[in-house]
């Protein structure tokens, strides 16, 4: 690894910094465009699902900022055991925020900026493992960062398909390295660790340096914590490579290969621990059952990765004839991901994370040695430029649309806390205790107060997330019944007692659930009042 790191040039450091800055521009615009009295939440406008993911991560950071290391679900009211190690990436970020003067959203984005910068350098290091020529390293780095997909073609060639399932570039952020880093710091961290793992493994096999074995062990352990789903990708990948190096290439002796039991065992042990604790209680079991991420139809993947598949297909014959055995690693990596995308697991899409890395070096090989050779030398830079312009359209569009949207906060209220909300959140932060529960609203469309209250205050709520609210469908029915005018006050009292609710957040989303008014009963006391938000304390 150290030899590879020495190959960094000033240009790649500048490129990494530029990409980190560009991916931060929407959030900077959001902060600078926030009207007086409003607060910027720190989330993006599009895709809308990322707003709720960021709120979930801020909930974890709240726990770390309070000195808690056992992860609890703040989006559900039931008592449940806290889990050490699980989701500790964001809990650690919260602990770091505790010793800084910065807000949790700001620390979130500082981490995202730093890790995006590191991601670009890691992709360069990965490219350097395969290419000696700087031009090919740059090609692989460009394919691994700014290139995304072309499933947006469906908007023109099959609008009905695009209406049913949107182009993956606009919602499946796991699928592309820089797109994931644009939204989530842990995505960038997980991809960096993937690269450290495979390069440390390769260096240990080829150079026999013990430091690489230590790096492999540590990186596998950290990856198990940050992205535990990767176990079904990384262990088979490294196991298959080990079989090849022992029995075919003869680079490893069987005795030395047995040492891999240590890093593999630690990685698998940490993943198994999380699997068992996440199914050990009813609340965590509900979380696990609701945490489903299935794959879209194959056509979306084919078009989504088309900019990579074209040069890979055209360069496959030459790669087979010329390449050395280090190319087995990216090939096996991609094949394993293809297999995992449609195996009968409820977490299929999660295996896409980082697959752009091996696709990038394979595409760079095909572009450099099978496509560019067909062009006149003077036209090669133009051909490459045009190709990457097309391949990066979706990424540029997403960054631009988010930045432009933030210049009009009144049109994108989901990303901002309006004065009534912001003042209500401030009241809760000042007066509520960490154990208090707020009765909130939330529905299948993400409309409601639950997710925002957790993100802004770190308090527990009754309902606020499709996955992290236990028995979500039942909770939606219960909150509708609570606000229904035909529901008896005895039922409401019993419900509030059963849920241990300390406060009720009464806003427009609550009013739309029913005509019942909390002001009409004597067991609720208004403690905060604004034009659109009233906070009631349960007597």
For residue 137, what are its two tokens? Answer: 């390293």
Exposed e or buried b for every residue in 165-191, given b needs 16+ CB within 10 A? Answer: ebbbbbbbbbbbbbbbbbbbbbbbbbb
pLDDT, average across residues 165-182: 95
For residue 6, the model assigns a pLDDT of 55
What band does 5 get if pLDDT is binned at 50, 70 and 90? very low
For residue 454, what are its two tokens? Answer: 């957790």
Q: Is the pLDDT of residue 3 over 50?
A: no
Question: For the segment 39-77, what is each residue's pLDDT rounded down to a tens digit?
Answer: 999 999 999 899 999 999 999 999 999 999 999 999 999
For residue 345, the model assigns a pLDDT of 78
pLDDT, average across residues 425-447: 96
CA distance 405 to 415: 10
Q: Is the pLDDT of residue 4 over 70?
A: no
Q: Is the pLDDT of residue 2 over 70?
A: no
Q: What angle do CA 401, 406, 412 make, to 5 degrees?
A: 95
Q: Rounded mean pLDDT of the chain?
A: 95
Lowest-pLDDT choice from 173-177, 271-275, 288-292, 431-435? 288-292
For residue 501, the model assigns a pLDDT of 97
DSSP string of 450-503, one letter each residue: HHHHHHHH--EESS--TTTSTTHHHHHHHHHHHH-TTS-HHHHHHHHHHHTEEE
The CATH number that domain 418-538 falls under is 3.40.50
Exposed e or buried b for every residue in 417-432, given b needs 16+ CB within 10 A? Answer: bbbbbbbbbebbeeeb
Q: Is the pLDDT of residue 37 over 70?
A: yes
Q: Where are the domains of the chain?
A: 2-138+172-302+320-353, 418-538
Question: For the segment 200-222, what is each residue's pLDDT rounded down to a tens digit?
Answer: 999 999 988 899 999 999 999 99
CA distance 402 to 398: 6
Three-class SS state of 442: strand
Question: For the segment 283-327, what is each residue's pLDDT rounded down to a tens digit?
Answer: 999 999 998 888 999 999 999 999 999 999 999 999 999 878 999
Evaluate the omega torsion of the peptide bond into residue 448 and state whether it is cis, within 30 degrees of 0. no
For residue 322, the model assigns a pLDDT of 84
pLDDT, average across residues 388-417: 96
């Amino acid at each position: 690894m150290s030899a590879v790191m020495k190959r960094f040039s000033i240009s790649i450091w500048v490129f990494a910094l530029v990409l980190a800055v560009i991916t931060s521009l929407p959030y900077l615009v959001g902060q600078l465009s926030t009207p007086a009295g409003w607060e910027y939440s720190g989330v993006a406008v599009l895709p809308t699902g990322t707003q709720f993911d960021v709120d979930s991560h801020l909930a974890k950071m709240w726990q770390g900022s309070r000195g808690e290391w056992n992860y609890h679900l703040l989006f559900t009211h039931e008592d449940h055991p806290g889990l050490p190690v699980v989701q500790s990436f964001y809990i650690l970020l919260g602990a770091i925020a505790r010793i800084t003067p910065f807000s949790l959203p700001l620390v979130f984005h500082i981490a995202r900026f730093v890790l995006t910068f590191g991601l670009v350098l890691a992709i360069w290091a990965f490219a350097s493992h395969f290419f000696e020529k700087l031009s090919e390293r740059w090609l692989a780095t460009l394919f691994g960062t700014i290139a995304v997909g072309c499933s947006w073609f469906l908007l023109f060639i099959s609008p009905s398909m695009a209406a049913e399932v949107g182009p993956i570039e606009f919602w499946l952020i796991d699928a592309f390295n820089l797109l994931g880093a644009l939204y989530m710091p842990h995505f960038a961290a997980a991809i960096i660790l993937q690269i450290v793992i495979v390069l440390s493994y390769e260096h240990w096999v080829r150079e026999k340096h013990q430091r690489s074995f230590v790096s492999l062990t540590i990186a596998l352990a950290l990856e198990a914590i940050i992205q535990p789903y990767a176990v079904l990708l990384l262990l088979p990948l490294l196991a298959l490579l080990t079989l090849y190096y022992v029995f075919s290439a003869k680079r490893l002796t069987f005795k030395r290969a047995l040492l891999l039991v240590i890093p593999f065992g630690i990685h698998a042990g940490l993943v198994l621990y999380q699997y068992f604790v996440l199914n050990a209680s009813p609340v965590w079991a509900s979380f696990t059952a609701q945490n489903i991420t299935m794959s879209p139809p194959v056509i979306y993947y084919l078009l989504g990765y088309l900019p990579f598949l074209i040069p890979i297909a055209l360069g496959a014959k030459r790669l087979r004839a010329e390449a050395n055995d280090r190319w087995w690693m990216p090939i096996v990596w991609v094949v394993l991901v293809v297999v995992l995308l449609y195996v009968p697991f409820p977490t299929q899409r999660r295996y896409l994370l980082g697959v752009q890395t091996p696709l990038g070096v394979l595409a760079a090989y095909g572009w450099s040695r099978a496509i560019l050779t067909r062009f006149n030398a003077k036209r090669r830079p133009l051909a490459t430029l045009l190709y990457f312009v097309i391949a990066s359209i979706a990424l540029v569009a997403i960054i631009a649309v988010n930045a432009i949207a933030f210049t009009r906060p009144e049109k994108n209220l989901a990303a901002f806390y309006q004065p009534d909300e912001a003042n209500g959140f401030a009241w809760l932060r000042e007066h509520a205790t960490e154990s208090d529960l707020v009765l909130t609203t939330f529905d299948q469309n993400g409309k409601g107060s639950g997710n925002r209250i957790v993100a802004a205050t770190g308090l527990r709520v009754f309902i606020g997330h499709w996955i992290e609210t236990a028995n979500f469908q039942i909770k939606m029915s219960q909150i509708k019944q609570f606000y229904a005018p035909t529901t008896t006050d005895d039922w409401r009292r019993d419900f509030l007692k059963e849920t241990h609710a300390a406060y009720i957040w009464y806003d427009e989303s609550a009013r739309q659930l029913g005509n019942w008014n909390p002001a009409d009963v004597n067991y609720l006391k208004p403690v905060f009042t604004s034009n659109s938000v009233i906070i009631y304390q349960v007597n």
